Structure 1
């Protein structure tokens, strides 16, 4: 009896100690190491397609998901392989590949699965955007710990992955859970004395486990060298400044002239295979999708009101001024809505500012409820709510998922397969920005516009749409340089050897630029990581100071 009482005593003591764990005890930086640099490099396989034993598989160095399914549609596939995760795709007419997307979190990861034997198709999914981590270090910052409350932020030692957006922090006894709503990864931790055992899941399927201890030194993240090509061109000074961090966080520079790649270099560990966060420079891709839709007569005119495309529940927002918001006004940032969200000129109280409407449960209702500050098609003010509404309009026109339309009508035709689309809360492509393309694929897109809608001599977008897109409609009132603006394309003028050179540009926060220079028959790509240091326009300096003189000589 005494022995039983002792056992019971120590058991209760253990339970009390577990329940007594308070999150302030764990509010520290933690670190560990992933076992494998390719842990998040997944092989995706569809086996025995068309047969009763068809299976959808995801694996790395071990099997993660093995999901049996039946395909009902002859050409389209939809596989809900885990909770809140699915694959959708279309089989090519020749039956040799499947192009589709894995929807995980806020991202649509494009996959091209190629046919192998036994009617099986195989492709690659890099959930962290890179095929192999350059650092296996893993960090966890637990913050604001109090009782059972906390926030936790996983950080990978390889900063080419753009980071997690974690939420839904829960604690029960010595267990913590949270998820990254960007990638869809799930995290489950066990709190031990001076240690956290953290498991990472895809749905309910374990990917890996990492043991974390308290950090005693500052974290080292990134700083990877690249075996960049030493240029024989007159761009050596630019390369030296990038290597010395005088042109900080420059990730890639590519130049094509007359359709030929004449310069290509990568820095900070980046390479040709890493899709880069384009931020708002993908707004110009959104413009292309609108053009393709009009070319296919899916809508009549850019003069149509946005309310022609919206469900009945939003018609209550229509009044005599707002009903004049048309497709063209959204393409030119001239809706008149108080949607300004560029830099210090943003209105922090407007429901249509990006940081505000993205916190709402219904983004469309939030944007449309914003007050009007101008009549439509009179003055331009940069704001992501304008192209967001374009995405809603395009989605209303297309019977298939919008991402499949984009893939079939633009990306496949440009031979682009390694890319990612960010979505809105409904899981639809977000036209306000946030796609991930490799710099070489960004170059292809720029050349499509330089060649007036043709790629490899094949028409993809009408020449009329390209001309309309590149027209300078009006000045962006809320920008420092008062740039001209087209259909989601910026205008700028540079000086070189006493001459003015006009460039038409896709631009994204942090320094993501596609320069299209018709007078020089040139496209330039610069990608960067200057998100918080005030150097987001650094590519303009690089372009004017180093690239234009080379092109002029």
Structure 2
């Protein structure tokens, strides 16, 4: 369910995500220093020497790229100059190297390495540094992730799309206290980059014809085919990696259905946390059928909380609603790998519910108000539903949700207690994920039958909790649904959506008549979610809104 690489990936992302606004200013020293070199050898098989240095690199062809630089003094000495009042431990906690990537003289991406990047020795004693950037497969090294972020998140692959370019890398020290302090250049070098054309199978580019027996009425509306073909080309070029399916529903009719990378209509897709939203659906149905009183029911009505570890009076105030809105106050944060309740700590245990209920509470969090992404809380919800409805969660979901939607081809994953895994363990076909999204677009109605109450749909898709506490500017969360706004050609389009690792999405638009599904298996790719956004903003939405 999780990759071992994800720990390293998150560590690299923590600080760098907000550093582009702190781009270094050019100074006279920029021209004087030239002590960073590039090589194109496999560092795992050969020890690089100065004889291996290269002044050119062919992007999309050369498999390896490393950088080498030697400092006059260890990094820690440069950090002391920036903050002489701090101890060594404080310096290493608040500072590291800053890397700036310049293409043709323009700063494209800046990353302030987080404290976990690099060993203590590499910062306190090491002078010679060798950092792999490009490698033909994923490696557990912060330099590899940094290059990936430069290319995928920082705009590198957009400016290095074709032709020949100059790539420069500058290395500085930085300290981040209340403000960001950046020192002078420690190392700088450049290399000529030639962009090799990516050869693609041209048969993958045209819009795919919708095959019969989809289970949907086909839309007769037009859309901007060249836009979709441009998207298909980017997918074929792996500009958008590991995309498996794109389905667009317009006014209850199938408009676009496309599959990539070996998947087809009958492929069951692992959408990861998209499955969390189904816990919200089933809770709403269980409440409507009086198996559970309401979402305001207290957690203590289902469990003897005093029998679990770390009991406090605060736990008695946890509601099902606070679990739905990721605001329960448990000491669990999936974005923080040091958090006791991080989901990675839950999966190896033999009882996920017990693990979750044993967690202490966060004293500084207000139940029902402060958002923290907490997968273990959704596992608790699944268990609550399972023990409250006839024949358990899986049987209940089949009868009350999947059967009415005529979804027969699906697969659950299970918790150690053999309960359907609401953390994100259900696989459906992309076209059936579209049915689920359209059900919400229809305000809970399918083929004239009210499957979910309109009131529950409204609550689920609304802005229940601000995500400002979690550092997500302008973000809101509903009942296990996200909310955001896409801007296309100056017009804002509000959307509620399900979201899962790897870039999996079900978009339910509020002001335009569309449901869009993207299935993807880019599970360890830091650009997976941003790729989905880029696909929507630059290709899919313009194609279906503007038409031809």
Which category describes the TM-score, using the shorter chain as reference length? 0.5 to 0.7
Cα distance in 1, alignment partners of residues 202 and 269 from structure 2: 17
Indicate whether 1:394 and 2:394 are aligned.
Answer: no
Structure 1 pair 536–457 and aligned structure 2 pair: CA distance change class (3 A)? same
Instruction: Identify the residue that residue 372 of structure 1 maps to in structure 2.
Output: 361
Indicate whether 1:474 and 2:465 are aligned.
Answer: yes
- How big is the shift at 1:532? 1.4
Q: Which secondary structure does the structure 2 equivalent of 1:310 belong to? A: coil
Asked if structure 1 preserves the Cα contact closer than 8 Å seen for 2:305 and 2:357, the reply is no
Cα distance in 2, alignment partners of residues 229 and 298 from structure 1: 50
Instruction: Give the one of 512, 523, 527 matched to 1:520.
Output: 512
Cα distance in 2, alignment partners of residues 307 and 228 from structure 1: 55
Indicate whether 1:275 and 2:252 are aligned.
Answer: no
Indicate whether 1:493 and 2:482 are aligned.
Answer: no
Cα distance in 1, alignment partners of residues 257 and 273 from structure 2: 23
- How big is the shift at 1:289? 0.6
Cα distance in 2, alignment partners of residues 313 and 532 from structure 1: 39
Asked if structure 2 preserves the Cα contact closer than 8 Å seen for 1:357 and 1:363, the reply is yes
Instruction: Give the one of 322, 344, 349 matched to 1:360.
Output: 349
Instruction: Identify the residue that residue 536 of structure 1 maps to in structure 2.
Output: 528
Instruction: Identify the residue that residue 348 of structure 1 maps to in structure 2.
Output: 338
Give deviations 1:447-479, integer Å, cap 9, x for gaps.
Answer: 000000011121100001001101101223335
Structure 1 pair 517–349 and aligned structure 2 pair: CA distance change class (3 A)? closer
**Structure 1 or 2: more strand by fraction:** 1
Instruction: Identify the residue that residue 207 of structure 2 maps to in structure 1.
Output: 230
Asked if structure 1 preserves the Cα contact closer than 8 Å seen for 2:375 and 2:423, the reply is yes
Asked if structure 2 preserves the Cα contact closer than 8 Å seen for 1:279 and 1:435, the reply is yes
Cα distance in 2, alignment partners of residues 382 and 249 from structure 1: 25
Cα distance in 2, alignment partners of residues 226 and 326 from structure 1: 53
Indicate whether 1:546 and 2:539 are aligned.
Answer: yes
Instruction: Give the one of 327, 333, 351 matched to 2:320.
Output: 327
Asked if structure 2 preserves the Cα contact closer than 8 Å seen for 1:410 and 1:460, the reply is yes
Give deviations 1:466-496, integer Å, cap 9, x for gaps.
Answer: 0110110122333555521000000111111
- How big is the shift at 1:227? 6.3
**Equivalence map 1:414-453=2 (5 Å):** 414-453=405-444
Unaligned runs of 5+ in 1: 1-222
- How big is the shift at 1:426? 0.6
- How big is the shift at 1:235? 1.3
Structure 1 pair 225–391 and aligned structure 2 pair: CA distance change class (3 A)? farther
Q: Which secondary structure does the structure 2 equivalent of 1:365 belong to? A: helix
- How big is the shift at 1:375? 2.6
Give deviations 1:237-276, integer Å, cap 9, x for gaps.
Answer: 1111111111111111110110011011000011000110
**Equivalence map 1:52-451=2 (5 Å):** 230=207, 233=225, 234-310=227-303, 314=307, 318-342=311-335, 346-350=336-340, 352-373=341-362, 374-451=365-442
Asked if structure 2 preserves the Cα contact closer than 8 Å seen for 1:423 and 1:429, the reply is yes
- How big is the shift at 1:366? 1.8
Structure 1 pair 358–496 and aligned structure 2 pair: CA distance change class (3 A)? same
Asked if structure 2 preserves the Cα contact closer than 8 Å seen for 1:331 and 1:487, the reply is yes
Instruction: Identify the residue that residue 450 of structure 2 maps to in structure 1.
Output: 459
Structure 1 pair 464–355 and aligned structure 2 pair: CA distance change class (3 A)? same
- How big is the shift at 1:372? 1.7
Asked if structure 2 preserves the Cα contact closer than 8 Å seen for 1:281 and 1:507, the reply is yes
User: Aligned-pair RMSD on alpha carbons?
Assistant: 2.1
Q: Which secondary structure does the structure 2 equivalent of 1:285 belong to? A: helix
Q: Which secondary structure does the structure 2 equivalent of 1:507 belong to? A: strand
Q: What is the TM-score when the length of structure 1 is the normalising length?
A: 0.57
Give deviations 1:180-220, integer Å, cap 9, x for gaps.
Answer: xxxxxxxxxxxxxxxxxxxxxxxxxxxxxxxxxxxxxxxxx
- How big is the shift at 1:317? 5.6
Q: Which secondary structure does the structure 1 equivalent of 2:287 belong to? A: helix
- How big is the shift at 1:225? 11
- How big is the shift at 1:229? 5.7
- How big is the shift at 1:333? 0.2
Unaligned runs of 5+ in 2: 1-199, 209-223
Cα distance in 1, alignment partners of residues 402 and 301 from structure 2: 28
Structure 1 pair 409–479 and aligned structure 2 pair: CA distance change class (3 A)? farther
Asked if structure 1 preserves the Cα contact closer than 8 Å seen for 2:245 and 2:258, the reply is yes
Cα distance in 2, alignment partners of residues 224 and 505 from structure 1: 32
Asked if structure 1 preserves the Cα contact closer than 8 Å seen for 2:444 and 2:453, the reply is yes
- How big is the shift at 1:363? 1.9
Structure 1 pair 389–406 and aligned structure 2 pair: CA distance change class (3 A)? same
Larger RCO (alpha carbons 8 Å, 6+ apart): 2
Cα distance in 1, alignment partners of residues 202 and 277 from structure 2: 31
- How big is the shift at 1:309? 1.3
